[in-house]
Amino acid sequence: MSGAELVLVAHGTRSRVGVETVAALADAVGERVGSVRTAFVDVLGPSPTEVLRDLRGPAVLVPAFLASGFHVHTDVPRAVVDSGHQRVTVTRALGPHPVLARVLARRLHESGWRPGDAVVLAAAGSSDPRARHDVRRAAAMLSARVRRDVPVGYIATGTPTVPETVARLRAAGEHRVLVASYLLAPGLFHTRLGQAGADGVTDPLGAHDAIADLVAERFFLASPRAARISAGNPVAVRRSTAR
């Protein structure tokens, strides 16, 4: 898609550090692809609709989400339709992906993880079964790296919660339990992990170079021709098959 603009779509947070993390990721992606716009689906703006209305040429939206739930399947396509923009491609979400598993493993090492320590993958959670499936796939990818089972705990929506999962591992005789934060940026959800009763909590994935590479890959592998959509045909938004 010659001359397309990349729009990085994140959730949004009231955390200043969280907003700065998304901005840092956008800057890193910009070094790889050129101009990058940032949009948020919740909490703060600009929204994807507002950003798209400000663009005249083709656009590629990359959802900076670690699982494909309501925001990816509903909010983002709706925003594209509401914008009236006629040349938009929406890529897959970032996760699950082996790149994210590698960054998670690095964060675990940084937090003091040792072989044999129990690990809980902490995800925000979703009522969408597709998102929960994605999180389980992410846990399986991390499990292959730490060479032991990695159960999932949810922070906001879904069960078991992170504290429940940590407590279950303790009751099963685990001496050290670490929480791998499956979040992109700091914020309220990440802060809650400090109260989960674990021996350590990793930093969020953050603006890691490998994640910036993944966003750039999503952009470059997007369809070379933007899908034309109309306000009456929201399902016409083209999704990239990049994996």
DSSP 7-20: EEEE---S-HHHHH
| E strand segments, the chain | 5-10, 36-40, 59-63, 88-90, 118-125, 152-157, 177-181, 200-201, 238-239
Query: Which is more confidently placed, 64 or 225?
Result: 64
List the single range of 41-45, 138-142, 161-165 with lowest mean pLDDT: 41-45
List the single range of 59-63, 70-74, 112-116 with lowest mean pLDDT: 70-74
Q: What is the pLDDT of residue 20?
A: 96
Q: Which amino acid is at 158?
A: G
- The Cβ-side half-sphere exposure at 111, using a 13 Å CA radius, reads 24
Q: Which amino acid is at 23?
A: A
Q: What is the pLDDT of residue 242?
A: 39
pLDDT band, residue 231 (cuts 50/70/90): very low
What is the CATH class of 5-94+208-239?
A: alpha beta
User: Taking residues 210-215, what's their average pLDDT?
Assistant: 98
Second-level CATH architecture of 98-201: 3-Layer(aba) Sandwich (3.40)
DSSP 25-51: HHHHHHHHHS-EEEEESSSSS--HHHH
Give burial (CB, 10 Å; 0-12/13-18/19+) of 114. Answer: exposed
The secondary element (H helix, E strand) that includes residue 214 is helix 209-220
User: Taking residues 173-202, what's their average pLDDT?
Assistant: 96
What is the Cα–Cα distance from 116 to 175, expressed in whole angstroms? 10
Domain ranges of the chain: 5-94+208-239, 98-201
| The token pair that represents 171 in the structure block | 């009751």
pLDDT band, residue 230 (cuts 50/70/90): very low
Q: What is the pLDDT of residue 232?
A: 35
Global model pTM greater than 0.85:
yes
List the single range of 64-78, 127-141, 218-232 with lowest mean pLDDT: 218-232
Write out pLDDT tens, residues 24-51. Answer: 999 999 999 998 999 999 888 899 999 9
DSSP structure class, residue 199: S
Residue 192, helix vs strand vs coil: helix
- Residues 6 or more apart in contact with residue 241 via CB below 8 angstroms: 92, 221
